[in-house]
Chains A and B, each alone.
Chain A
Amino acid sequence: MSLFTMPSLGADMEEGKLIEWLVKPGDHVAKGDIVAVVETQKGAIEIEIFEAGQISALLAEPGQTLPVGAPLAQIGTAEDAAPSVAPPRQEQLPQAAQPPAPSVAPVGGSGGPRPASPAARARAADLGLALETVAGSGPGGAVLLSDVEAGTRLRPAPPTAPARDGGPKGRPGLDLTEMRRAIAAAMSRSKREIPHYYLSHEIALHAAQGWLAATNAARPPDRRLLMGALLVRATVRALAKVPEMNGRFDEGGYVPSATVNCGLAIALRGGGLIAPAIPDAQDLDSDTIMQRMRDLVARTRAGRLRNSEITQGTITVSSLGETGVDAMFGVIYPPQVALVGFGAPRVRPLVQDGTLTPGLAVTATLAADHRVSDGRRGAVFLAEIDRLLQEPDSP
């Protein structure tokens, strides 16, 4: 028997609000299953469980804000001989995940929280719409996104609905003030605790560009690659040569990581930044990295990230994309020990074989933790990224 508790989704997180249970007592869960949705400064995050067992009791209700470490559920593990007696508390629990109820009528105010899909919840919150006022058409009368959308058409939209503060709408279900606070806390901690050093290196991209154009020409849009995927792959592969850039610096000091969980800094249009990670990226080919990046960006925009993705990064890549400035000197995302930045690739004057020619190039930068590595090793890292980008077709 063990407890599933409110996870910490970052050093700066003190509490989280339980939004939704995706399991109910009696359900069997496997390691990695998503069991709940918690609202944090980074938006709604899907919470995975890290042990297998059977849910014996849910100890918290959706809507409750709880400190990190607070018990959320009781898990019976395989060793528990008999099914446990359900604690009396269970009767007060929300019915959100129960089998379908016969009626789809809205639940009364005292009947517990309204069952609703995460997307519906986020959209309703975005619209300032009470879920209790929406008729649900999902299982057990759960409110679905389409119900919320339909509900908004039935009522006159409040005049401020499209953009509450006149600015960009931002990500659904995301409080930008809270996110700014979270970024401030993480970046202040980084600058306070991590002695950064910075290196910069210009990398010619004509080989990568040529390979990319030839590869994409034969592909439908769904299967095309972006330069960003090649930059991420080269960075991940270069870590094999300079593994000390990949890991975490915790209370006990530096702990290298055997896997590369490559964080991607993703800017949100409404403002703010999230750096979810691609786990186990060390052996992925370009196509798979591209697919993972697409998925991560899509889920970041939709507000559907998982806790492992935002807490288990071991290095971060920040790429300014195709229309940004030349170079960025990043702030390491603690407890990581390195951040690789790529400016916007641009055609620049390059000297090749003694001749000045225009060619596509990118400035790669490294911000690294001087407690763990030195500039000489950082230079080896950037040089290796350069070398790998000159052979983009290598498997």
Chain B
Amino acid sequence: MTPQEIRAAFIADLIGIAPDLDPAAIGDDDHLQDDLGLDSMDFLNLVSALHKRFSLPIPESDYPRLATPSKAAAYLAAMLAA
């Protein structure tokens, strides 16, 4: 997958768990919790969706690496390449 495709997939899963967010208004460096208002339940649901899509384990210790769309895209790319 290209970085663009990974980012698009991440945003799609994010909108899936938070349908009230406007995809066009999400910035690459928006913090999922502080800026976009996800709570811990939303975040866990997002991790579940990413886990299903990419078949990656995404342990809790990696959660900080998913803090923003740009960080998450980099993390997912690194894990998929590993």
Question: Which of A's residues lie within 8 Å of B, judged by CB?
Answer: 162-163, 168-172, 213, 216-217, 220-222, 224, 226-228, 267, 269-270, 293-294, 297-298, 301-302, 321-323
In the complex, the answer to whether B44 meets A226 with C-beta atoms within 8 Å is: yes
In the complex, what's the smallest C-beta–C-beta distance from B8 to chain A, in angstroms?
18
A168 / chain B contacts, CB cutoff of 8 Å:
20, 37
- In the bound complex, what is the Cα–Cα distance between A270 and B58 (angstroms)? 29
In the complex, the answer to whether A170 meets B20 with C-beta atoms within 8 Å is: yes
In the complex, the answer to whether B44 meets A221 with C-beta atoms within 8 Å is: yes
- In the bound complex, what is the Cα–Cα distance between A220 and B44 (angstroms)? 11
- In the bound complex, what is the Cα–Cα distance between A163 and B25 (angstroms)? 11
In the complex, the answer to whether B45 meets A169 with C-beta atoms within 8 Å is: no
Q: Is B41 at the interface (CB under 8 A from chain A)?
A: yes
In the complex, the answer to whether B20 meets A298 with C-beta atoms within 8 Å is: no
B21 / chain A contacts, CB cutoff of 8 Å:
169, 269
A171 / chain B contacts, CB cutoff of 8 Å:
20
Q: A171-B20, A302-B19 are in contact. Are A217 and B59 (CB under 8 A)?
A: yes
- In the bound complex, what is the Cα–Cα distance between A169 and B21 (angstroms)? 7
B34 / chain A contacts, CB cutoff of 8 Å:
323
Q: Name the contact of B40 in the complex, choosing from A220, A222, A228, A301 (C-beta under 8 A).
A: A228
In the complex, the answer to whether B48 meets A221 with C-beta atoms within 8 Å is: yes
In the complex, the answer to whether A267 meets B22 with C-beta atoms within 8 Å is: no
10 A-B pairs in the complex with CB atoms less than 8 angstroms apart = A162-B22, A162-B25, A171-B20, A172-B20, A220-B48, A226-B44, A269-B37, A270-B20, A294-B45, A297-B42
In the complex, what's the smallest C-beta–C-beta distance from A184 to chain B, in angstroms?
22
Number of B positions contacting A (CB below 8 A)? 24
In the complex, what's the smallest C-beta–C-beta distance from A266 to chain B, in angstroms?
9
Q: A221-B47, A270-B20, A301-B19 are in contact. Are A294 and B33 (CB under 8 A)?
A: no
B77 / chain A contacts, CB cutoff of 8 Å:
none
A172 / chain B contacts, CB cutoff of 8 Å:
19-20
Please report which residues of chain B, range 35-55, place their CB below 8 angstroms from some CB of chain A when the two chains form the complex. Answer: 37, 39-42, 44-45, 47-48, 50-51
B59 / chain A contacts, CB cutoff of 8 Å:
217
- In the bound complex, what is the Cα–Cα distance between A293 and B40 (angstroms)? 12
In the complex, the answer to whether A222 meets B51 with C-beta atoms within 8 Å is: yes
In the complex, the answer to whether B60 meets A297 with C-beta atoms within 8 Å is: no
A267 / chain B contacts, CB cutoff of 8 Å:
39
In the complex, the answer to whether A226 meets B40 with C-beta atoms within 8 Å is: yes
A323 / chain B contacts, CB cutoff of 8 Å:
33-34
Q: Which residue of A is nearest B49, CB measured?
A: A221
In the complex, the answer to whether A297 meets B41 with C-beta atoms within 8 Å is: yes
Q: Name the contact of B60 in the complex, choosing from A162, A216, A293, A294 (C-beta under 8 A).
A: A216
Q: Which residue of A is nearest B41, CB measured?
A: A297
15 A-B pairs besides A294-B45, A301-B20, A323-B33 with CB distance below 8 A are A169-B20, A169-B22, A171-B20, A217-B59, A220-B48, A220-B51, A220-B57, A221-B51, A226-B44, A227-B40, A228-B41, A269-B21, A301-B19, A302-B19, A322-B33
In the complex, what's the smallest C-beta–C-beta distance from A74 to chain B, in angstroms?
37
- In the bound complex, what is the Cα–Cα distance between A129 and B36 (angstroms)? 27
A226 / chain B contacts, CB cutoff of 8 Å:
40-41, 44
Q: Name the contact of A301 in the complex, choosing from B18, B24, B51 (C-beta under 8 A).
A: B18
Q: A228-B41, A297-B41 are in contact. Are A221 and B58 (CB under 8 A)?
A: yes
A222 / chain B contacts, CB cutoff of 8 Å:
48, 51
A220 / chain B contacts, CB cutoff of 8 Å:
48, 51, 57
Q: A170-B20, A301-B19 are in contact. Are A321 and B47 (CB under 8 A)?
A: no
